[in-house]
């Protein structure tokens, strides 16, 4: 056994393992870009912060084609326009190129900026399995001063769910009546199955008392609240990465294969709507995400 030969072999194995891990990490980041879990501007910031990170070592060509609606020919035109060589990596751009890319991205994929006005009516939405319910429950437990709205639904109760605490369980006719009487601030059919709606009265009462109110509802509902109460603050909960979202959905184990695939397709569409929201909060840690939402409530 040539002891002298072992270290280089070990080094080679370690180096190739590292290269494989780096490629995987970059592939995961490309999925994050394609699904809009991470904005292109955020990816650039990460590349800036660390040139040797997976973001920093991503090729500019891969970066661009991971963005929605950019194919190879469009990519070549953009690179020429920005004066960036196709062999460049994100972390290796010159200051001028970096700036040109930033300006181009802001024009094409505007990041929603925080609005001036604060509101005590907060809507928490986000893709399936991102953990909206868990974050809302955490807020309810630690911040009883904030009212967590209880929705009406035609879905039958799950084991352990309590009437009036988790939901108001109603049948179809009962739901129709709530709608007809104008008692719901918004309502929608979620996952093509059951109807859900937000009772208007408790919210108006709490707001009149100066309390903050949190709605944990789906995207269609968030859009309706925006229409009905334009000063409401819309918060979009993001997963730390696309792979993590897939992992959470699979880990939950409550849906079969077909349903999971359907929900992931829905999640992609939902993620694409995040720019309609005033704020985005990444749910990497429940307590931390909850604290950020509470801080927004002012």
Which positions lie near ligand 5GP, rule CB under 6 A? 132, 151, 155, 186, 188, 190, 196-198, 216-218, 220-221
Closest contact distance (angstroms) between CB of 190 and ligand 5GP is 4
Closest contact distance (angstroms) between CB of 216 and ligand 5GP is 5
Q: Which is nearer to ligand 5GP, 72 or 161 (CB)?
A: 161
Q: Which is nearer to ligand 5GP, 56 or 197 (CB)?
A: 197
* Contact partners, residue 115, CB within 8 Å, separation at least 6: 233, 278
> In whole angstroms, what is the distance from residue 47 CA to residue 54 CA?
8
Closest contact distance (angstroms) between CB of 236 and ligand 5GP is 12
Q: Which is nearer to ligand 5GP, 216 or 278 (CB)?
A: 216
Q: Which is nearer to ligand 5GP, 39 or 153 (CB)?
A: 153
Q: Which is nearer to ligand 5GP, 47 or 178 (CB)?
A: 178
Closest contact distance (angstroms) between CB of 197 and ligand 5GP is 5
Q: Which is nearer to ligand 5GP, 20 or 272 (CB)?
A: 272
Question: How many other β-carbons are positioned within 10 Å of the β-carbon of residue 149?
Answer: 20
Helix (H, G, I), strand (E, B) or coil at 215: strand
Strand blocks (E) in the chain: 121-125, 147-148, 151-153, 167-169, 184-190, 194-199, 213-216, 233-238, 279-282
> In whole angstroms, what is the distance from residue 191 CA to residue 174 CA?
20
Closest contact distance (angstroms) between CB of 148 and ligand 5GP is 11
* Contact partners, residue 45, CB within 8 Å, separation at least 6: none
- Burial level of 126, CB count in 10 A (0-12/13-18/19+)? buried
| CA-to-CA separations, 61 to 58, 89, 150, in angstroms, rounded | 8, 8, 47
Q: Which is nearer to ligand 5GP, 93 or 203 (CB)?
A: 203
Closest contact distance (angstroms) between CB of 122 and ligand 5GP is 14
> In whole angstroms, what is the distance from residue 268 CA to residue 47 CA?
24
Task: Say if CB 235 and CB 215 are below 8 A apart.
Answer: no
Q: Which is nearer to ligand 5GP, 190 or 206 (CB)?
A: 190
Closest contact distance (angstroms) between CB of 201 and ligand 5GP is 14
Q: Which residue is nearest to ligand 5GP (CB)?
A: 221
Q: What is the DSSP string of 221-261?
A: HHHHHHHH-TTPEEEEEE-S-HHHHHHHHHHH--S-HHHHH
Residue 107 belongs to what H/E stretch?
Answer: helix 95-108
Distance of CA 192 to the CA centre of its chain: 21
């Amino acid at each position: 056994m040539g002891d002298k030969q072992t270290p280089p072999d070990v080094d080679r194995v370690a180096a190739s393992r590292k290269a494989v891990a780096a490629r995987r990490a970059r592939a995961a980041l490309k999925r994050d870009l394609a699904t809009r879990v991470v904005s292109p501007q955020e990816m650039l910031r990460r590349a800036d912060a660390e040139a040797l990170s997976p973001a920093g070592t991503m090729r500019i060509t891969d970066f661009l084609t991971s963005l929605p609606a950019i194919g190879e020919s469009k990519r070549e035109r953009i690179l020429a326009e920005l004066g960036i060589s196709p062999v460049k990596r994100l972390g290796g751009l010159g200051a001028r190129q970096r700036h040109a890319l930033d300006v181009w991205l802001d024009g094409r994929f505007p990041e929603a900026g925080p609005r001036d006005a604060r509101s005590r009516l907060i809507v928490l939405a986000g893709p399936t399995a991102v953990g909206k319910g868990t974050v809302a429950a955490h807020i309810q437990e630690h911040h009883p001063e904030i009212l967590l709205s209880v929705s009406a639904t035609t879905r039958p109760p799950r084991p352990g769910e309590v009437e009036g605490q988790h939901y108001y369980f109603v049948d179809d006719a009962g739901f129709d009546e709530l709608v007809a009487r104008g008692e719901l601030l918004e309502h929608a059919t979620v996952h093509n199955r059951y109807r859900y709606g937000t009772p208007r009265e408790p919210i108006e009462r709490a707001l009149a008392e100066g309390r903050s109110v949190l709605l944990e509802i789906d995207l269609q509902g968030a859009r309706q609240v925006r229409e009905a109460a334009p000063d409401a603050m819309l918060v979009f909960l993001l997963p730390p990465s696309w792979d993590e979202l897939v992992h959470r959905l699979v880990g939950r184990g409550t849906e079969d294969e077909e349903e999971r695939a359907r929900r992931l397709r829905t999640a992609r569409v939902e993620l694409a709507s995040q720019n309609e929201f005033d704020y985005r909060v990444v749910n990497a840690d429940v307590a931390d995400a909850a604290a950020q939402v509470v801080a927004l409530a002012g």
